[in-house]
């Protein structure tokens, strides 16, 4: 039986781990500290099969200040690392891949430079690209969620098919980090309408939500990015794991 892949998110701002609420990063205050490398090693110790990194300095300011840190994260674990953070050109993607990242997440570039968008997929292969679909009120938003496009998410997903996209990351921004109810139906609809694999993102806050995703895995929604809920121990047995592993990095 196929299982929904749970992908822990490590969101970085100024070299520190943060948590994100509706796309807005907040400083993280967990007892496990602010070090993204330690978090990567902890999630790997808890048997994560993949990690998702969001670089807010790159996405908001086009800063490369976290690149060395991202490279260290990639070197510290033996699982694939996915990176999202304001990739605005082919050269940006090339540089990120040189850090050891397995897969890059691209969103706004489709609107700003479709030629480079296509070149990235043609050069590195569609398996190493995730197409980000960020949504507010059933409308695709871009540029760190600042700009509305007037395009419905399913329409946008279908437009991306011509580039050979094989995976979408679908995020309902208003549910992101709210620990409420995830918009699972949006992810399912995009998967069914396009026939492309979907990673769900946003709003996951309980084991029951993971079970809901498991029920629709045949639709093509095969994975989920989880951030704040993991950091705040919202899942069964997490607190036991935490107690057992508090001295790992001391």
- Active site residues per annotation: 11, 134
- Single out the residue of 175, 180, 103 nearest to residue 145, CA to CA: 175
Distances (CA, A) of 142 to 16, 112, 239: 24, 10, 36
48/43 Cα distance (integer angstroms)? 6
Q: Is the distance from CB of 47 to CB of 7 less than 8 angstroms? A: no
Q: How many beta carbons lie within 10 A of that of residue 148, not counting itself?
A: 13
> Which tokens go with 140?
């695709």
């Amino acid at each position: 039986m196929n299982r929904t892949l749970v992908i822990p998110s490590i969101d970085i701002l100024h070299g520190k781990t943060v948590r994100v609420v509706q796309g807005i990063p907040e400083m993280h205050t967990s007892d496990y500290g602010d070090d993204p490398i330690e978090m990567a090693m902890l999630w790997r110790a808890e048997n994560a099969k993949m990690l998702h990194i969001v670089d807010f300095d790159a996405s908001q300011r086009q800063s490369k200040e976290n690149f060395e840190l991202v490279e260290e994260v990639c070197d510290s674990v033996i699982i694939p690392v996915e990176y999202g953070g304001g990739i605005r050109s082919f050269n940006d993607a090339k540089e990120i891949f040189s850090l050891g990242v397995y897969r890059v997440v691209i969103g706004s570039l489709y609107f700003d430079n479709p030629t480079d968008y296509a070149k990235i997929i043609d050069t590195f292969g569609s398996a190493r690209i995730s197409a980000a679909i960020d949504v507010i009120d059933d409308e695709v938003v871009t540029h760190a969620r600042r700009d509305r496009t007037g395009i419905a998410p399913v329409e946008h997903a279908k437009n991306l098919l011509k580039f050979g996209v094989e995976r979408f990351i679908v995020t309902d921004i208003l549910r992101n980090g709210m620990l409420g109810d995830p918009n699972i139906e949006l992810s399912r609809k995009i998967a069914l309408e396009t026939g492309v694999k979907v990673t769900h993102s946003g709003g996951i806050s309980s084991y029951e939500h993971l079970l809901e995703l498991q029920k629709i895995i045949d639709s093509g929604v095969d994975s989920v990015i989880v951030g704040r809920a993991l950091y705040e121990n919202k899942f069964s047995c997490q607190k036991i794991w935490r107690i057992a592993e508090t001295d790992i990095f001391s």
